[in-house]
Amino acid sequence: MERVTLVPHTHWDREWYAPFAEFRPRLVAMMDALLELADRGFPHFHLDGQTAMIDDYLAVRPEREPELRRHVRAGRLSAGPWVTQMDAFLVSGESHIRNLEMGLARARELGRALEVGYLPDQFGHIGQMPQILRSAGIEHAVVWRGVPRTVDRDVFRWEAPDGSEVLAEYLAFGYFNGEAYRRAEDPRELARRIEETLGRQRPFRASDRILVMVGSDHAGPDPSLPQRVAAAASHLEGVEVRIGGLEDHLGGRRLRGPVPTHRGELRSSARANLLTGVASARANQKRERARVEALLERAAEPLAALVPGFPWPEERLREAWTLLLWNGAHDSACGCSHDRVARDVAARFAAARAIAEAVVDEALTTLGARVAAAGTIRFNPSPFERDGVPGLGWRVVAGGAEPAELPLSVGIEDGWVRAAGLAFALRDEPDQGDLYTFCPGGEARPPERLETDGRTVRATWPGLEVRLRLRRLRGEPFLRLEGAVRNERPDHRLRLHLRLPERAEGSLAGSPFELVRRPLLGEGGVEPPSPLWPARGVVAAGGLAALAEGVVEYEVTGGELAITLLRCVGTISRERLETRPYAAGPDVPTPEAQMLGTWPLALGAMRAGSPSALLAAWERFALPLLEAPATGGGSLPAAGTLLELEGEACLSAVRRVGGELEVRVWNPLDRPARARVEGLELDLGPARIQSVALGRARARPA
């Protein structure tokens, strides 16, 4: 007897081809109907693994919270484990942890949390997700996109780089593989459709059960489903069909034998679109997200947690994180949405930035009143000394200080700019794609005019100008390329090409809690093999590394490393492209995604070093020292450390949880590493993420 679990569900994007303000009334109507249906005994409805849609509903219908809680407790509605269904590669590792932490906490407040890592529509999955899930006690995941061809079963063991493992249910035919059941009113027709589903999935079958998701984007419950399934049962031989939730399906499931194991990230288009172009759509918002994340994670929270006498601003920080998590939802973070959505995303970033900046200013002002000497107090967010400021500490100076610029010779030869032993070029090409996918429309061309005055480089094409100031600062191992792009032309892609000292056969790229090694091409299938990848902060290939504040799209072409500076397209999705066989969404015009106007940019370039050296260089590049006036008159010395962190571990978070200090670090190496946090020795396995509870830290002299 085969058992089939039908999971009625919706996949609910808070915003996508329409803004949140238009989708929420539809959500309220759907949830109103769902609660009435649950009152009449509907067995289960899966709320997309996210609590945001529950809270969005309760913001309009607060009087229905007791009723909703009752159904969550009874298992008729699922809650969590996430706040939102975030994109995997376009947010920080800390964002993933807070998304899961806050989602589970809210779901438990509502009565019961779904403890399954439901990840139905992300455009690939980060390698460290199994470790993140296991750290929250979650042992199962459900995934669709990105699974490689080597996984030929609907269950596989998914390992993180540290060896953490979850058992993953593979939705080989998508999170909508039972959507057609909604249109089958005749019992025989429904039985036939169920048999068709089983026929497709049997070659993948790894257990005694088959999972069928009955729903789709922004769909509500089908009230007649239980009755129609019961009527269809007599037409199904050897098949038991149950309506339930993911936990019903996974609980007591038995594997039929060994299942495949996959280690690391999932970035294949073997059986589903991967949609790699989302890493470069609306590139300005990728940069701003990283800057706000860094401000919150590495400045506001550490200062609020560590400055003596500063009260922990729980509500304000929670509000900032909520805004970031809303902006992390995959259609929001990816930029593949309506222009009004992009404006809403920008507004939420501005609000989160304002909160974080206010906390930083207040905490630094408090610290500046506790030091003895007046002047300018400088805070170093890195765990190592920078510009005379101790790691995670302060120094009072007479006035603001700028690092000294080193002499630099800049020249142009054969269309390549040469400086500090590095060479780069700029190339622009037509793009016939959309917000999901790049599609070439002609040759990449060098600028019609390329010139330098010895410091600034200017490149021009018709309707396009790039100005870059090149700088080398004392104490920095990289060349800074800072400037702006003025764009007056649609439908094209602008990239910076770095000449590699040696031919590259792959790359090493930043990803949440990982430096991941990748080949030149991703695995193709539904889409052609793609050379495009996302890099978080750093990418190295062929003896050279590029630094960015946030996520950038890159390609390694043997002798060159290309970084996308700007991609300009005018629709959410086209029906068909040479680089994608079918639509990824609706063909909704997005004139603002043509990126007309002037856009700032900043990159770094350097000779590649060890993983630790690359990440330390990124800290210097992307995390500026912070300054505030110091009134003096306190008892602290002119320089000191708020938290001692030594060793090879990278810092992710310093915050207060329940009044106690928590520090999170991670090992970027593929070998064991040692670290010391406030005198506590840590032995970190390869790629291990470790959270440490420390009680209360104290400021100490340098």
Identify the three-state secondary structure at position 381: coil
Residue at 208: amino acid letter: D
Distances (CA, A) of 272 to 143, 166, 330, 573: 11, 22, 16, 16
Q: Are strands 261-263 and 375-379 parallel, antiparallel or unpaired?
A: unpaired
Burial of 403 (0-12, 13-18, 19+ CB in 10 A): middle
State the Cα–Cα distance between residues 291 and 327, nearest whole angstrom.
13
Q: Kindly name the residue from 121, 344, 387, 434 that is annotated as catalytic.
A: 121
State the Cα–Cα distance between residues 615 and 611, nearest whole angstrom.
6
Residue in this structure with the two tokens 């420390």, named with its chain if needed: 694
Burial of 497 (0-12, 13-18, 19+ CB in 10 A): buried
State the Cα–Cα distance between residues 291 and 569, nearest whole angstrom.
24
Cis, peptide link before residue 403, omega less than 30° from 0: no
Is 217 one of the annotated active-site residues of the chain? no
| Spatial CA neighbour of 152 closest among 205, 198, 197 | 205
DSSP 10-67: -B--SSSSS-HHHHHHHHHHHHHHHHHHHHTT---BB-TTBSHHHHHHHTT-GGGHHH
State the Cα–Cα distance between residues 301 and 283, nearest whole angstrom.
26
At 317, which helix (H) or strand (E)?
Answer: helix 314-328
| Spatial CA neighbour of 145 closest among 125, 168, 167 | 125
Alpha helices in 127-186 (DSSP H): 129-135
At 641, which helix (H) or strand (E)?
Answer: strand 639-641
Identify the three-state secondary structure at position 640: strand
State the Cα–Cα distance between residues 674 and 683, nearest whole angstrom.
5
Burial of 446 (0-12, 13-18, 19+ CB in 10 A): middle
Query: For residues 94, 95, 97 and 101, what is the CA-based torsion angle, rounded to 10 degrees?
Result: 130
Q: Are strands 140-143 and 165-170 parallel, antiparallel or unpaired?
A: parallel
What does the block give as tokens for 562?
């290309």
Q: Which residues pair with 329 in a beta bridge?
A: 86
205 and 180 Cβ atoms separated by less than 8 Å: no
Identify the three-state secondary structure at position 618: helix
State the Cα–Cα distance between residues 257 and 235, nearest whole angstrom.
30
Distances (CA, A) of 296 to 269, 289, 305, 399, 654: 34, 11, 12, 25, 10
Burial of 450 (0-12, 13-18, 19+ CB in 10 A): middle
State the Cα–Cα distance between residues 454 and 452, nearest whole angstrom.
5
Tell me which residues are annotated as active site: 121
